Amino acid sequence: MDDRTLRLRRKYSQFRVLVMGKANAGKTTILQKVCNTTDQPKIYNSKGEEIDLSAVAPSRERGDHNIENEMIFEANRRFIFHDSRGFECGSTEEFKIVQDFIERRGRERASRRQLHAIWYCLPTDNAHRLLTGAEARFFQECDPGAVPVIAIYTKFDDFVLQTQQFFMSQGWEENDAFNVAFNCASHRFTNVYAKVINETRFPPSGDVQLQGKNYMNKPDTSCNKLLEKTADALGDDALRQLFVCIQNNNLDLCGKWGVKR
């Protein structure tokens, strides 16, 4: 490890991400892939005390959820994740909590408490409702400042099937419709559906399309595209170097940014 890398690691020791999106948006699977594990994360409160995972399980009432809680996977403890469970029912209170968290952590001077990136998971299994009123409000009203927002379009295999159905409705045979859909779904999604988000007041810094849980759970899949998009969006060189350094399984990313492990 060279002197430059050592200096960078002294400035930043962990990378903090706010993960947004509704329940069943595929958030946990993505984080497991990023940390190269199948284990569940440990949860810590703002005092650094480990708390019972069942206390923040998705099936519990919303009142048990706290955006300040930290999720850490033992496989890679240099990532710290915070979970926002989405703005269900258009909750003004929840929106304000998230907005305050982003503003406060984004401006935090202590690097160990700073928010470094936001990953917003948006399922594409119902692309016509990709941007609900609550999500539209986030991209129109919530200024992330210098914190990059990466839109993660999950369950993209479902959108491919929807595109296949579209072509079949135009008279295409099933197999032909699937082949065409597989090749053009990404372009169609970007130009028809993601365009709405990209034209908001505070559009994402980047986006990535990921397949559904069944595909993502396969051992040979990865979230390398998400990692690359995040690294590209980071404006601070030292922070980018940290982000690249803490990847355990992406040598291509290290090579792109000239990081020596």
- CATH number of this structure's domain 3-156+204-254: 3.40.50.300
Residue burial 29-61, b: 16+ Cβ < 10 Å; e: rest: bbbbbbbeeeeebebbeeeeeeeeeeebeeeee
User: Among 136, 151, 132, which residue's Cα sits nearest to residue 200?
Assistant: 136
User: 242 with 9: CB under 8 angstroms?
Assistant: yes
Q: Domain ranges in the chain?
A: 3-156+204-254
pLDDT tens digits in sequence order for the chain, 261 residues long: 455 555 555 566 899 999 998 878 889 999 999 999 999 999 999 888 998 766 555 444 444 578 999 999 999 999 999 998 766 655 788 889 999 999 999 999 888 899 999 999 999 988 778 777 778 889 999 999 999 999 999 999 999 999 999 999 999 999 999 999 999 999 999 998 999 999 999 999 999 999 887 778 788 788 999 999 999 999 888 888 888 888 755 666 766 666 655
